[in-house]
Amino acid sequence: MPSVLDPDLRRALAERVRYCHEMGIYDFYRREGRISESAVVDADTDNPPSTSDEQREEMAAKKSAAVAKVAAENIVEVFTPRAEQGVVDPIAALKLIREDLGDCTRCKLHKQGRKQIVFGVGNPRAELMFVGEGPGADEDMQGEPFVGRAGQLLNNMIKAMGIRREDVYIANVVKCRPPGNRTPERDECETCSPFLMRQIAVIKPKVIVALGAVAAKNLLAMNASMSELRGRFYDFLPAGARSSDPSWQGTKLAVTYHPAFLLRDPRQKGEAWKDLQMVMKFLRLEPPKKSE
């Protein structure tokens, strides 16, 4: 690698490294051509003909040493730590993430009629976090997630759990309204969700409730039906959060129906209540007394 990088290349590398950090990848090395042309190449062959066990062992040892040397010599020098790294105060850390997001144009949703970015709202130290799929028209207008009819139902669900909307944190997988309230597309979710992961890593909730299949599938990176996803807790550590962080080893994630779906099919409210009761039991929440 040349000692002085071309500025464009440096910028491109910085972007790439930043993206990898957001995805939870921290260690980098570059393979050198000269290494692959050396004896290491021979060791790459699965079954080299007429090679004794001793020779194979020796080659494997050479290969390990060579790869270690490459790793040591070629660590990409462009280092782009997350802005909030080392910031203890979650209010300040969330502010830094919001600043980092800026007037975001990272995915095509920025040019498809959004009025504003809907970052997230609530208690930066919340034990409970709700994650939906994306802002709708009301949210786009007001700049706050879950403020329309679905938001009112979510407020009622939160109240039924014995807590207030201000106690929890609410965000979405994508922060800009998809046109016509369509489902956010995969590339949009993949581009935007690292910011959600960073928010989660700052807030460190005890439980996340994924509202609907889109949120659940994106958070859990698995493709399954709601009936398969619901009814249990998942261990969840957001991409980008280091599991070695002694102060936080991740959160529990539960899946329930999106309030907009419950408005369309109120018969499922009982099922959603079962999901919330599971969360309440874990967080030791009591439903409000009748007089409250």
Per CB under 6 A, residues contacting ligand SF4 are 101, 104-107, 109-110, 117, 174-176, 188, 191-192
Strand, helix or coil for residue 16 = helix
Cβ closest to ligand SF4, residue 117 vs residue 285: 117
User: How far is Cα 146 from Cα 101, in angstroms, rounded to an integer?
Assistant: 20
Q: How far is the CB of 111 from ligand SF4 (least distance, A)?
A: 8
Q: How far is the CB of 132 from ligand SF4 (least distance, A)?
A: 13
Q: Are 173 and 192 in contact (CB under 8 A)?
A: yes
Start-end of H helices in the chain: 7-22, 33-36, 39-44, 53-73, 90-101, 137-142, 149-160, 186-203, 213-220, 226-229, 259-264, 269-283
> For residues 132 and 250, which CB has a smaller minimum distance to ligand SF4 in the complex?
132
Nearest to 275 by CA among 227, 242, 206: 227
Phi, then psi, of 62 in degrees rounded to 5: -60, -40
Residue 226 to residue 255: CA distance in whole angstroms = 8
Residue among 119 and 257 whose Cβ is closer to ligand SF4: 119
In terms of CB distance, is 70 or 107 closer to ligand SF4? 107
Nearer to ligand SF4, 58 or 190 (CB): 190
Residue 99 structure tokens? 């600043």
Residue whose entry in the numeric block shows the structure tokens 């907009």 = 260
Question: Could you tell me the smallest distance in angstroms from the CB atom of residue 120 to ligand SF4?
Answer: 11
**Least separation in angstroms between CB 145 and ligand SF4:** 13
Q: How far is the CB of 14 from ligand SF4 (least distance, A)?
A: 18
User: How wide is the angle at C-alpha 239 spanned by C-alphas 174 and 131, nearest 5°?
Assistant: 35
**First-to-last CA distance in the chain?**
67
Q: Least distance from C-beta 188 to ligand SF4, angstroms?
A: 6
Taking the complex as a whole, the smallest distance from the CB of residue 107 to ligand SF4 amounts, in Å, to 3
Choose between 177 and 230: whose C-beta lies nearer to ligand SF4.
177
* CA–CA gap between residue 140 and residue 119 (Å, rounded): 10
Nearer Cβ to ligand SF4 (175/198): 175
